[in-house]
Structure formats: C-alpha cells, structure tokens
A and B are shown apart, each in its own frame.
Chain A
Amino acid sequence: MNARIERDNVVTQALGQIGNCGVFLLQILAAIPRSLRYGRETVRQLWFVGAMSLTIIMTCGLFVGMVLELQLYHVLSMFGSTSMSGTVVAIATYRELGPVVTALLFAGRAGTAITAEIGLMRATDQISAMELMAVDPLAYVAAPRFLAGLVAMPLLCCVFCALAVFGGHLVGVSWLGIDNGTFWSNMTATVDVWQDIVSGVIWKSLAFGAVVALIAVYQGYTAPPTSEGVAYATTRTVVASSIAILALDFVLTAFLM
C-alpha cells in the first residue's frame, strides 16, 4: 500500500520533472537571443565545460580505441579478417561509443560542475543579486552554460573519436602487425561521412550535449538552497543524464540510421 503510493509519487515526480525541464528548455531558448550580449560569458563557460574536459576525454578515447582494437583483433582473426578491425573500431566509435561515452564523461565532468555551481549561486543569493542588478540570470547564467554544452560536446566527441582511431591504429598496426595500408584503406572504403560522421558523431553528440547541459543547468537552478540540496541535485544530474543519454541514443539510432 505504502509502496504503491511511493511508486506513484516517483512516477508522477519523474513526469513532473520532465515537464518542468521542458518548460525550462523553452525559457532558456527564449533567453538565448538576450544572452548573445554575454558572449564573453559563453566563451568562459566553453573553457570550463569544454577545454577543461579535454584531458579525460582524450585519455578515455585513446583507451577505448585500444581495447576495442584488441578485442576485435581476437574475434576477427577467427575469420581471417583482422584487417577490418580498424574499420570496426572507427564505425563503432563514430556511431555509438564516441557520442555515448563522451556524453557520459561530459555529464560526470562538466554537468556536475554546472549543477553545483548554479546551485551554490542560488544558495548564496547570487542569482537573486543578478536579478536585482537587472541582469537576467537565464540569459547570463543558464543560456551560456547551455550553449557551451551544446558547442563543446560535438567538439569533444570529435577529439574522442580521433583518439580512438589513433588508439586502434597504435594497437592494431604498431603492436599486432596489421598492415598500415589495409588498415586505412579498409577504413576509408567503409566509413561514410554522412552516415557515420555527420549523423553519428555530430548529430548524436549535439543532441546529447543539449540534453546533458539542460539537465545540469535545470538541476542547479532548481536545487534547494542548502548544502544537502545541492549535493542531491549534483547526483541527480549524473543519474538523469545517464538515463537520458542511453534512452535518447536508442531513439536517435532508430531514426538516424
């Protein structure tokens, strides 16, 4: 009995959150024209969410490429087609692993930082102070972070994918002895710019960037102004982003490919 009430609450709460999030998205979108005058702030946020995430993205991209190549080499050697392993690394990374892993890392690295920062700004009245200085916090705080997330994700994803290919090349060609020429010629013969790079890397990561940035900003904006509230909001950013990324990935894959 109690458990059911609890579950209903969880479901209605989740739906309510999604609804509020949608309204918040509209508010941010409406604030974007006004936020253009704060271009400097967007640049600064791009530095924090994008450039500062490069290390983790590059490291992870490299290792993902290396381990994929290693696994694929062993499986494909059964069919005598190890020279295709680089191609599979590229396609798997461009279509799925690149956008998804980058987005998950991005949520953990940049999303939490955005939530905690905005949550603390609210808790210490900085948001109200901006309102009272006639600076719209939606345009000055929310929109630049949202835009920065939107721009940073595809760029980070490209870097991730490039390093994954590099890692695959390192393991496949330098260590396992696949021929360098076949490695590249198979890849260039198979990877399609539109199918794999544009609708994989670019569209997916744009969508994930928007979703993660929206969730992070929303959670920070609505966090209760207490230390516990901010901590909880930060956790929720990671949980909600991860679920949203994987669910959206399925939908996008179904529609794009």
Chain B
Amino acid sequence: MSQRKSYAVGTGLFIVLGFAALAYLATQTSSVANRQQGASYTVDAQFENIGQLKERAPVKIAGVRVGQVQSIGLEPGKSVADVKLAIDKRYADIPADSVATIFTSGLLGDQYVGIEYGHSKDRVADGSKLALTRSSEPLEEMLGKFFGAGGAADNIGGSYRVTARFSNVGSLSAGSPVKMAGVPIGQVVSVQAEPAKLDALVTLAIDNRYNQIPDDSAAAVFTSGLIGSQYVAIQPGGSPDMLKNGDEMILTQSAMQLEDLIGKFLVNGSGSSDGKQGANPPTPPAGKH
C-alpha cells in the first residue's frame, strides 16, 4: 500500500515537473513572453502590399509591442489587403490620423506593423479604420537598389578591361560580378594591394556589348544582401566620353559605406550588440570572410 502511494506521489511530481517545463518553454522562451494578455480592440488597415507580414505578427508603437495582426484578407475584386490589427485595450488613445506602416525587424527579420501617431483629436475606435497606411514596398525598393541579383555575365562578345582603386574592397575577390543597374556586365579579374598608395587596385573585365559607359561613372563595392557575396556596381556618370580598355575609374566607393547605409535601414535591429556598424573605415580589407 505504501509502495503504491509513493508511485502516485512520484508520478504526480513528474507530471508537475513536465508541465512546469512546458510552461517555462512557452512563457519564458517564446513570443508569448512579449504578448500582453488581456482585452483588445480591432482596427482595420488596408495595404497595397503586405510583403511577408503574417498573422500574429506584432503591432508596435515607438518600437513597443501593443498588439498583433489578427487576420489578413484580400477583398475580392480589389487589389488591397485587409489587415485587422488587435490592439491592447490599454493603448486606446491612438489618433485617428495615425499612419500604419509595415516594417521589417532588421534586414532578414520578420515584418511587423508600426503605428506612427498623427495629430488628430479623434481616437480610433473598435472596428474603425486607419486611413493612412504605408506598404512594405518602399523599404524593399530602397534595399533593392543596393542588392543586385544574378551572377556574372557571360563573356561571349569579348571584354575590355578597366581598373579602379578602392580604399577597402571588403571580401571582393577575382570572379566577383560587375553590375550596372543590377544587371551583370562583367567580372572582377584581379584584386591587388598597392603598397605605395595604401589601397586596392581592382581590375574589371567588362563585356564588349557594354561599351557605352561614360568615363566619369562611379564604381562601388556592394553586397548582395547582408551576408551575401560582394560585387562591383557601376553607376553611370554624364560624360560624353566612354570608358575604353585600360582606363581607370576615378570615382569609387569602398565597401564600408554600404554597411553604413544598411545601418540606416536596420530600423529595429535584432540586437547585434557587438558595435560593428559604423566602425571606422580603415579596417583591414580581409576583415570579413
């Protein structure tokens, strides 16, 4: 009998421990930890493009979570997405002319809805609509300028070579693509250090088809995505003379500047706390791999 009791007690403890572990996982290590419990009210917003926004994505004001995306629908016959936002009752004082914008947490992170306060005296009520919205597109378009796509150009028509000097090439190496307007037009032939001038001499082979490049065009070292490979982007200038074989491109933009730029888009950086952004430019070229 006593034997049997100890089983029951021990088993009870085991079950309690298991559920405690589950409660711990669910409340301390998951998004539930960020979730306010309690009553909420619903606000509609219409977006032309919701990008990667998903149901249960957070709704934030000034970066603080105030609710979540309740549902996403598409009205038949209309090309706008209906997004219902469930906002915590505690945050009931949102001006009716506030702007709902779809943001991305970091470059690779999930998307969320950010609400920027307007000035109206009217407050949004349960079931009302936020008229002013900004879709996720502008951000992506901006980023798109920096993220070319595709690989190196094929080299059928022969090529001509130009050189460019950079104070920092990042991880650019021979074989990296050269792009103009995002389209591959050639590739990097060699990357050499120039000890005398303390910079890097990069030789580019550009396809003969693209021989109409003004000689005051700028060459910049960009990265495909945040952790993608680097490439040389050519930004056309306005000179009537065109680049020829053996020319040097005077206007260049080194790799570090891209990272600075990206820093501006890391609206809500997911906390890379190790102060890498905005570091001083003369880090050694092979600092990253």
Contact surface of A with B, Cβ cutoff 8 Å: 40, 43-44, 46-47, 50-51, 54, 78-84, 90, 94, 151-152, 154-156, 158-159, 161-162, 165, 179, 182, 184-193, 196-197, 201-202
Contacts and interface: CB of A to CB of B under 8 A. Distances in A.
A84 B227 CA distance: 15
B18 A81 contact: no
Contact of B29 (A156, A159, A165, A202): A165
B14 A54 contact: yes
A51 B11 contact: yes
A197 B26 contact: yes
A165 B198 CA distance: 47
Interface string B16-42: 011101101110111111100000000
A105 to B, nearest CB: 15
Nearest to A43: B11
Interface in B69-125: 105
20 contacts: A44-B7, A46-B11, A51-B11, A51-B13, A81-B272, A94-B25, A155-B18, A158-B21, A161-B25, A162-B21, A165-B29, A182-B273, A184-B29, A186-B270, A187-B29, A189-B31, A189-B105, A193-B30, A197-B30, A201-B25
B18 A154 contact: yes
Interface of B: 4, 7-8, 10-11, 13-15, 17-19, 21-22, 24-26, 28-34, 56, 105, 227, 270-274, 276, 289
A213 to B, nearest CB: 16
B15 A155 contact: yes
A201 B56 CA distance: 20
A199 to B, nearest CB: 12
A192 B14 CA distance: 26
B21 A161 contact: yes
Nearest to B9: A47
A127 to B, nearest CB: 22
A113 to B, nearest CB: 15
Contact of A192 (B18, B31, B227, B272): B31
Given A155-B15, A155-B22, 20 more contacts: A44-B7, A46-B14, A51-B10, A78-B289, A83-B271, A151-B15, A154-B22, A155-B17, A155-B19, A155-B21, A158-B18, A159-B17, A161-B25, A187-B29, A188-B28, A188-B33, A192-B56, A193-B31, A196-B30, A201-B22
A208 B178 CA distance: 52
B274 to A, nearest CB: 6
Contact of A182 (B18, B271, B276): B271
B17 A43 contact: no
For the complex of A and B, list the 3 residue pairs with the smallest distance between their C-beta atoms, beginning with the closest: A155-B18, A51-B14, A158-B21
B204 to A, nearest CB: 28
B141 to A, nearest CB: 26
Nearest to B30: A191
A177 to B, nearest CB: 11
A237 B28 CA distance: 36
A81 B266 CA distance: 14
B263 to A, nearest CB: 13
Given A83-B271, A83-B272, A189-B270, A44 B4 contact: yes
Nearest to A81: B272
A58 to B, nearest CB: 10
A190 B105 CA distance: 11
Given A161-B25, A186-B271, A188-B31, A50 B227 contact: no
Contacts of A94: 25
B29 A158 contact: no
Interface centre among A78, A84, A155, by most chain B C-beta atoms within 10 angstroms, is A155
Contact of A193 (B10, B14, B21, B32): B32
A152 B26 CA distance: 18
B31 A191 contact: yes
Contacts of B272: 80-81, 83
B164 to A, nearest CB: 27
A154 B25 CA distance: 12
Contacts of A84: 270
Contacts of B289: 78
Contact of B274 (A54, A82, A192): A82
A204 B7 CA distance: 27
A79 B33 contact: no
Nearest to B268: A189
Interface centre among B4, B7, B11, B34, by most chain A C-beta atoms within 10 angstroms, is B11
A192 B32 CA distance: 8
B205 to A, nearest CB: 30
A173 B17 CA distance: 25
B195 to A, nearest CB: 28
Nearest to A185: B271
A128 B228 CA distance: 68
